[in-house]
Amino acid sequence: MAKQTARPDGPEISVDGDWNALFIDGEWRSVEERERVAVENPATRETIAQVPLGEVEDIDDAYDAAVGAQQAWAETTPDERAKVVRTVAQLLETHAEEIREILAVEAGSAPPKLDIEHGGAVTFVHDAASFAFRMSGRHNQSKIPGKENIIQRDPAGVVGVISPWNVPLKLAIRAVAPAIALGNSVVLKPPTETPISGGLVIARLFEMAGLPDGVINVVPGHGTVAGDRTASHPDSDVVAFTGSTGAGRLVGENAVNHFALPALELGGNNPHVVLEDADLDAAVDAGTFGSFWHQGQVCISINRHLVHESLYDEYAERLANRAAELPIGDPTDEDTVIGPIINEEQRDEIVEYIEQTIDEGATLEAGGDYDDLFVEPTVLTGVENDMAAACNEHFGPVAPIIPFSTDEEAIEIANATEYGLAGSVHSADRGRARDVGDQIEVGMMHVNDQPVNAEPHTPFGGKKDSGMGRYNGDWIIDEFTEVKWTSVQRESRDYLF
């Protein structure tokens, strides 16, 4: 049975709460001998918390707890599991103000990003609660007289989750909540940049909801230590990872070495295709949002704007004007649209892509400069597909614009990348847009919209080097459960000898 009350000594849900602990087997462990990471507000550079960095032994303890708790949790009724997950959704709403503040000061999340991340997390967790009742099996006919074939779904076991810093709450909880609803236990390794909103807050919410000890365990740490051990731990049955393609390859290799299923949502180089008959106002609106939401720090943001040559100049001028008008500042200001980049390393990479692309012959139409971690929304014209800001996942507020002359050329340019995550196509002829979109090699395509979209009942994932498997809905149920065939011979059977 689930616990009735949360532990009184756990950290409160607040920026000022005491987050100086790991969460293992229902206990907040301070582990004083561990190295600490200073969690910084990227807008002000103030330290908001000190969080211990888990070592291999902490990950091992977390897996021991998860293994010990999983079977009893799987044997609870679907109603009990659904109730805990629904309670987490309600707690997300109850503590919305506090959680939004944590996301603002830890992850640099401006109000437009907060609305989508927090609201989406609530919606995803509510939907995940229904998964407890959706582990449906079936009966199949048999070619053997008197035989009954029963196909059932069981929890996979222990799900290791390695989550990213960019949309930390939503992208962690979209794996954690379904795993728990389906009867699995979880070891969550959140990122060092956002260990509170990406992990410790989630532990606290499930603790408050009455989840039994050991079903969720949260161990922040470096990817090369805690992350590698999470992916390679022999007790992992599924490893769910969201992050870069390079890191995802290593996670996938570590997982399959002990036959864990890797569920990998990786990088993207997403095209926004504007055909010559597109509604230019709508295409620019979508292009502005899709490039600059959360400073472009999202795998499904627009990485390349592919615009028909007849609209190219006007589109570029409009997009540059829109970019120049976007308010830049502290995410805690309600008028801010563009907040800070998460850290210097990420900022330097973005700025290098911009400068290199200009050196390669592109023209700067807007932005291009930065102040500390605040990078201006940047628009580049005269871009070719092999220039730095176009061929790389720049992961910043950068909009390279590439011209094309035919639909076939647009498709060729769009597909000339190792990635295949998401894309969008604009045209007054929706059938034509569908035809173009169908030929672009991505896992998610949006007609007359932009690629920053996710819904809890639709599959989320990519092709090629953008990963394997799908999140959300029935697709994540497939990832986090295993199928078992049981046959029952109800009549005597004649054998061949």
Scanning 146-244, the segments in alpha helix (DSSP H) are 168-181, 201-208, 228-232
The two three-digit tokens of residue 100, written as one number: 């939004």
List b or e across 225-252, with b for residues whose CB sees 16 or more CB atoms inside 10 angstroms. bbbbbbbbbebbbbbbbbbebebbebbb
Strand-pairing partners, residue 328, are: 338
Give me Rg for the CA atoms of the chain: 24
The two three-digit tokens of residue 497, written as one number: 């000898």
Smallest CA-to-CA distance from 265 within 54, 424, 481, 476 is with 476
Q: Rounded distance, CA 493 to CA 147, Å?
A: 9
Contact 183, 153 (CB under 8 A): no
Provide the annotated active-site residues.
265, 299
Strand-pairing partners, residue 163, are: none
Indicate the SS3 state at residue 187: strand
**DSSP tag of 19:** -
Q: Rounded distance, CA 443 to CA 466, Å?
A: 9
Strand-pairing partners, residue 305, are: 272, 401
Scanning 16-95, the segments in alpha helix (DSSP H) are 56-74, 78-94
